Structure 1
Amino acid sequence: MSTVPEPGPSPVRPVAGEPARVVVLVSGSGTLLQAVLDACADPGYGVEVVAVGADRDGILGLERAERAGVPTFVVRLADHADRAAWDGALAAALARHAPDLVVSAGFMKILGPQVLDRFTVVNTHPALLPSFPGAHAVRDALAAGVTVTGCTLHEVDAGVDTGPVIAQRAVEVHASDTEGSLHERIKTVERAMLVEELPRLLRDPGHKTRRHP
């Protein structure tokens, strides 16, 4: 006898008239986070950072959140038996804040299925994907001799920087560029892109945000 499978949790749209609930994940200085926090100070922006999570203590990104009065949490890989246990703990921490969207903003850990099956996560990357995925995108772009690189906002999937592209911005590579100088110019454009695209993404009826208990 066949059985009808139970439906999974339904995608949740932000409640009309209320700001969209966003949790930001950080691992470092939190400059992308700060750009979003600054934008959220405008009530018309339509987005609220309801929590900031990290994979380590004592980072500037957490200090930025605390100064803004945003709740924080830390889920360290070293505190868990394995990566699957860490992924489950991170998913539980995210669920406590009921986000419409999770933003990985310089979060230097690969997310697992317990997070990705429950939440829509977007990430910014300092290259024009699919070119130069991974942790050394700016260095790799310089080594390849490209004259134009940039940044990408994409949905996170099980791969490394392989999820669907949401938006991209181009940045010219100068002959005198070092990895540091190029990365700084990319980060400026990356921050503006994230701030511009977040409300648009959350308003898009074709984009499925999820808020799973």
Structure 2
Amino acid sequence: MNKVKAAVFASGTGSNFEAMMNCKELACEIVLLVCDNPGASVIEKATDFGVQTFVLNPKAFKDKHVYETEVLQVVRESEVEWIFLAGFMRLVGPTLLNAYQGKILNIHPSLLPAFPGKDAIGQAYRAGVEVTGVTVHYIDEGMDTGPIIAQKQVEVLPEDTEETLKYRIQKVEHELYPEVINQVVRMKRLWPVE
């Protein structure tokens, strides 16, 4: 039986992409990496896994709609049904949101709604919180505002540095994201409920 096809959108190192690819029980097949950063090391990881890569610098387009129209064409050509954001450092606009409504997930390194946006781990560390964590959520037009699917807490230890906290948060991400992907894909759980 053919698995559901999915794309990962990433901008950086691709540690969550790698965790998905290494998950032997993943309920979908990652067939495409979309990257907005030509220098990102996730591109090499995708190549090593034999995953098609589509690297497109948004600055080369006159606006977000034109950029996303190009991305959407490639995603559709790859017969992608689900999109998983994994360190994708830009807001998804209406072109992709409308085409994949309820089928785009994101992972964020905080317990949303706390510390949305960039540098969530640094924000939490500097705020001196005792607990932070990881959130997997559906995306909407806002910055980390879509409906939450799952969260997992990570305690901030007295001896933590920002780097050690980041390491422990990423370990949780690499377990939680594939689990949630499996749950959502197998149950065909869409938001909003159809």
TM-score range with shorter-chain normalisation? over 0.9
Pair 1:126-2:102 in alignment: no
C-alpha distance in 1 between matches for 2:142 and 2:75 = 21
C-alpha distance in 1 between matches for 2:85 and 2:154 = 21
Q: CA RMSD in A?
A: 1.5
Q: Which moved more, 1:74-83 or 1:107-116?
A: 74-83
Whichever of the two has the greater Rg, that structure is 1
- Superposed, which structure 2 residues align to 1:1-213 within 5 Å? 17-39=1-23, 42=24, 44-119=25-100, 120-207=103-190
Q: CA deviation at 1:37?
A: 0.5
Residue identity matched to 1:61: V
Residue identity matched to 2:121: V
Q: Is the 8 A contact 1:18 1:46 kept in 2?
A: no
C-alpha distance in 2 between matches for 1:46 and 1:103 = 13
Q: CA deviation at 1:83?
A: 2.1
Q: Which runs of 5 or more residues in structure 2 are unaligned?
A: none
Q: Is the 8 A contact 2:156 2:165 kept in 1?
A: yes
C-alpha distance in 2 between matches for 1:206 and 1:197 = 11
Q: Percent identity?
A: 34
Q: CA deviation at 1:87?
A: 2.1
Q: Is the 8 A contact 1:22 1:100 kept in 2?
A: yes
Q: Secondary structure in 1 aligned to 2:164?
A: helix
Q: Secondary structure in 2 aligned to 1:135?
A: coil
Residue identity matched to 1:143: R
C-alpha distance in 2 between matches for 1:183 and 1:113 = 31
C-alpha distance in 2 between matches for 1:85 and 1:161 = 23
Q: Secondary structure in 2 aligned to 1:149?
A: strand
Q: CA deviation at 1:208?
A: 5.6
C-alpha distance in 2 between matches for 1:18 and 1:47 = 9
The equivalent of 1:8 in structure 2 is none
Q: Secondary structure in 1 aligned to 2:99?
A: coil
Q: Which moved more, 1:78-87 or 1:161-170?
A: 78-87
Q: CA deviation at 1:109?
A: 1.2
Number of residue-to-residue matches in the alignment: 190
TM-score (norm 1): 0.84
C-alpha distance in 1 between matches for 2:155 and 2:29 = 33
Q: Secondary structure in 2 aligned to 1:37?
A: helix
Q: Is the 8 A contact 1:125 1:152 kept in 2?
A: yes
Q: Which runs of 5 or more residues in structure 1 are unaligned?
A: 1-16
C-alpha distance in 2 between matches for 1:56 and 1:146 = 32
Query: Cα gap change, 1:69/1:205 in structure 2, threshold over 3 Å: closer, same or farther?
Result: closer
Q: Secondary structure in 2 aligned to 1:141?
A: helix
Residue identity matched to 2:16: L
Residue identity matched to 2:37: R
Query: Cα gap change, 1:45/1:138 in structure 2, threshold over 3 Å: closer, same or farther?
Result: closer
